[in-house]
Structures are given as structure tokens and as C-alpha cells.
Structure 1
Amino acid sequence: MIAILAAAAALTLWPQTAAATPEAAWTWTLYGDDTPVVLANEVPDTPNLRTTLECEPGSSVARLTLYGGEAATGMARVTAGEAAAVAETEAARGGGLKLALRTDHPVFAAFGASGRLAVAVGEQRRAIEVPAAHLAKLRRFAELCSG
């Protein structure tokens, strides 16, 4: 009888759990043991990526790739807090865009402090948000990349 009640309770909660699961599966992961250093917004153990930041240790240059959406090329305005930068973009494989940012630039420092970065190319706007629980990974990424 207890097993039947537990199963019924689980089925009652199932639609709520199923709706929350896809978003809850996305996380920020830092891969710092290999070259390049990579910070990825991903669903672990799948090919699903939203964003990657990559660098060669000590290079002070982070390569940002935003997956999905329309491929955008040209000049991007990158902002974080009050800081702004301009970066050239290129199309990423599978759609999206790629650009490079210096890790010693004020915009990257502001990104590390707030976890929020906005990229605008023409009319296209993209945003990255690193939740507070993962900001230490972003700061460690910047530390590993800085020369």
C-alpha cells in the first residue's frame, strides 16, 4: 500500500519535475586541466552547448562562442556593467557567433564581478549570465588565462 501511495505521489509531481528538468540540466563547467582552458555553459555529458569561453593559459585572450541563434559577423559592442568594448565577430559552426576579448580589459573584469555580459551585433542582441553560484569558475577562468 505504501508503494502505491509513493508511486501516486511521484506521478502527481512528475509534470512539475519534468518542466523544471531541462533548464536545471544546464550548468557552467570549468575544464582547466587541459589546454585550452574552457568554461562551458552546457548540459554535461551531451553535445549541448550555449556558450564557451576558451583560452590558452597565460594568453590574456578569451575566445567567446555563443551557440544557436543566427550567425552574426561584423563588429560587436560588448558590455558588462558600465564597461564596453568593440570586438570583431565571425560565424560559429552550427550557427551563433564567435569573438575574442582580452581578460585584462575592464569589460571582462566587470563580467567577472557581475556575471553578466551583453553582445550586440547590428540588431541582434545576445546575453550571457553566470549565476552567482558559478562566478568563482568565471574568475578562475580569467586567472588561468591572464598572463
Structure 2
Amino acid sequence: MIAILAAAVLAAQTGPPATGWTWTLYADAAPVVLANEIPDTANLRVTLECDPGSSVARVTLYGPVMTGMARVASGDAVAMAEAEAGRGKSTRLTLRTDHPAFAAFAADGRMNVLVGDHRRPVEVPAPHLAKLRRFSELCSG
């Protein structure tokens, strides 16, 4: 009886987050995609995609559209990129995976995109950092 109760408590603690958002790596075909999504829905917050070995990550932020020069910061590193409107309500920009800002993002999972007065944080929680690092590895040439 105690074992069953302990298993039920453990299952409740390790279940999916109430919101359903997760990071998923799709690496079995080109392009490689890392998505912050609710699985099996069209709900996306962020996608990173690349052609394997290209060293170029295409970042799409879903939500309010931002256009213009973007300041992308992670750790002490900063990159500049052109932000443009993507499909639907999204912003697209491109980053080199060998840039120090992307390397810092792959290391700690935190990146901020600033376009004008609009700031969009991107955070990959510790349990998903291995997916981000694998994405970077697959994309790098």
C-alpha cells in the first residue's frame, strides 16, 4: 500500500506542466527544428531551425510582430540581426550558431531579443538544455 501511494505521489510530481508547454527537438529530417510548443497542437512560442551543418539558425518568435534591427543578448555576448515579419503573427531573425551570443544561449538556455522598445525573452529550462545543445551541434558546420 505504501509503495502504491509513493508511486502515485511521484507520478503527480513528475507529470507534465499544467500549461502543456515543452521544448521538442525534431532532428530526424531536414531542417532540424527545436520548438517551444504544446505537442500535437498548432501552439508555438518559439522555433529554431537550421539546415544540418549550415551554422545558421533561423529563429521565429510567435506573438507580436517586431521588425527592424534586433539586439540579441545571452550572457555577456551580443549579436545584431535583422528582425522581419514572418508568417502569421511572428518575427523571424537569423543567428550564426558559431557566434558567442548563440554559444552562450546554448550554454545556459537564456536569450533576450530586443527590437526597439520590445523585449522577448527565450528561456530553455535546464531539463531541456540537452536538446538545445544537440540542436546547436547538428546545425554547426
- 1:50 aligned onto 2:62: no
1:1-37 CA-to-partner distances (Å, cap 9, x unmatched) read xxxxxxxxxxxxxxxxxxx62x2x0000000001000
Cross-structure match for 1:10: none
Say which of 22, 27, 33 aligns to 1:32.
27
For 1:82, the equivalent position in structure 2 comes to 76
Q: Distance in 2 between matches of 1:135 and 1:85?
A: 21
Alignment of 1:114-125 (within 5 A): 114-125=108-119
User: Offset at 1:123?
Assistant: 0.4
Identify, as 1 or 2, the structure richer in helix.
Answer: 1
Q: How much has 1:79 moved relative to structure 2?
A: 0.1
TM-score normalised over the length of structure 2: 0.87
Once the two structures are superposed, residues 111-131 of structure 1 have per-residue CA deviations (whole angstroms, 9 ceiling, x without a partner) of 011100000000000000000
| Alpha-carbon shift at residue 134 of structure 1 (Å) | 0.2
Flag structure 2 segments of 5+ consecutive residues without an equivalent.
Answer: 1-16
Q: Residues 1-147 of structure 1: matches in 2 within 5 Å?
A: 21=18, 23=19, 25-68=20-63, 70-147=64-141
Moved over 6 A (4+): none
TM-score calculated relative to the size of structure 1:
0.83
Counterpart code for 1:34: A
The corresponding residue for 1:13 is: none
Aligned residues: 125
What SS is found at the alignment partner of 1:65? strand
Asked which structure has the greater CA Rg, the reply is 1
Stretches of structure 1 lacking an aligned partner (at least 5 in a row): 1-19
